[in-house]
Amino acid sequence: MLGRGVRLRRTLPLLAMFAPVAVFFIVFRYIPMLGNIIAFKQYNLFDGVWGSPWVGWDNFRMIFNNPQTLQIIRNTFMLSLFSIVLGFPFPILLAVMLNEVRRAWFKKTMQTLVYLPHFFSWVIVGGLVVTLFGTQAGVINKWIAAMGGEPVAFLYTVQTWLPIFFGSAIWKEAGFSAIIYLAAISSIDPHLYESASIDGAGKGKQIWHVTLPGILPVISIMFILAMGRVMEVGFDQVYNLQNAVVSSVSNVISTYIFTVGIQGGLYSVTAAMGLFEAVIGFVLVVGVNRVAKRFNQSLW
């Protein structure tokens, strides 16, 4: 057996590479958690975090006794849940389709095209959405008017705003997320496909019985992590796509924190809302992981 000193010298380069990551998470993730105590205080800038008076659970009572904040929590949960239900399968489907492409130049071109939107900011994507679906100058409404129809208020009707909201998120992120599944597919033993082909399995059966089971552990991990973000609806997306007409469904926790906390100065109330969001995410991750553990697909 190798001595402890020898093992330490061999792992020292790995520890050195891991050290900046550990420092980053400690400084920017764990230490800021101490600021959550302002959720239990009447925080003000002059007294600071430690000098502000304690109010116990008053901030949480204020949240749950306010019908508006309950509506915001409900909007956040529903938008995020439907985003997962509608958007989660797309990267898997896209990765499977790209994996079946045999012409390398076409495959590389398509990969570039589908994951390029990930690098666009939501300001750009929001501008593209307005350019396409705007009531007056939108491209689609111009086509409708050219054919003799009446302009449609795509962005000012809940029934049309929601599909645009979900569709823009899928278009922006599905390609980049597919990279993870493509990497998982590349690790599947090619002999499994050969064996399935010899047994008479076509492409559909090979995908169903070889590809999907082969990437099932990765799918499980990604789903568990996605459930942890079920109370997180990205501020950038909502802020750039929302308007007053659809505020009944577009007001979410992230926009509430920006409006009430940053602009309104009610830091304690929004800290309580953020802490509530984090606790729900933690409970969902643990719960989904426990379910996945029964199928030997858990994260831990």
Three-class SS of residue 54? strand
Given pLDDT bands bounded at 50, 70 and 90, which one contains residue 233?
confident
End-to-end CA distance of the chain: 29
Convert the pLDDT of each residue in 136-169 to its tens digit. 888 999 999 888 888 899 999 999 999 999 999 9
Token code pair at residue 248: 């009944």
Token code pair at residue 119: 């690098």
Token code pair at residue 242: 């929302």
Of 61, 57, 63, whose CA–CA distance to 37 is shortest? 57
Q: What is the DSSP string of 259-294?
A: IIIIIT--HHHHHHHHHHHHHHHHHHHHHHHHHHHT
Convert the pLDDT of each residue in 257-275 to its tens digit. 898 888 888 899 999 998 9
H-helix or E-strand containing 122?
A: helix 122-133
For residue 231, is it left (φ>0), alpha (ψ between -120 and 50) or beta?
Answer: alpha
103 CB-near residues (< 8 Å, 6+ apart)? none
Q: Can you give the pTM of this predicted structure? A: 0.85
Give the Cα separation of 16 and 78 in Å (integer): 43
> What is the pLDDT at residue 59?
92
The domains found in the chain, sorted by start residue, are 63-293 (1.10.3720.10)
Token code pair at residue 138: 């939108």
Mean pLDDT of 206-212: 92
> What is the pLDDT at residue 1?
52
Convert the pLDDT of each residue in 94-108 to its tens digit. 999 998 888 888 888
Given pLDDT bands bounded at 50, 70 and 90, which one contains residue 200?
confident
**Residue 2: pLDDT over 60:** no
**What percentage of residues in the chain have a pLDDT greater than 90?**
44
Given pLDDT bands bounded at 50, 70 and 90, which one contains residue 3?
low
> What is the pLDDT at residue 101?
87
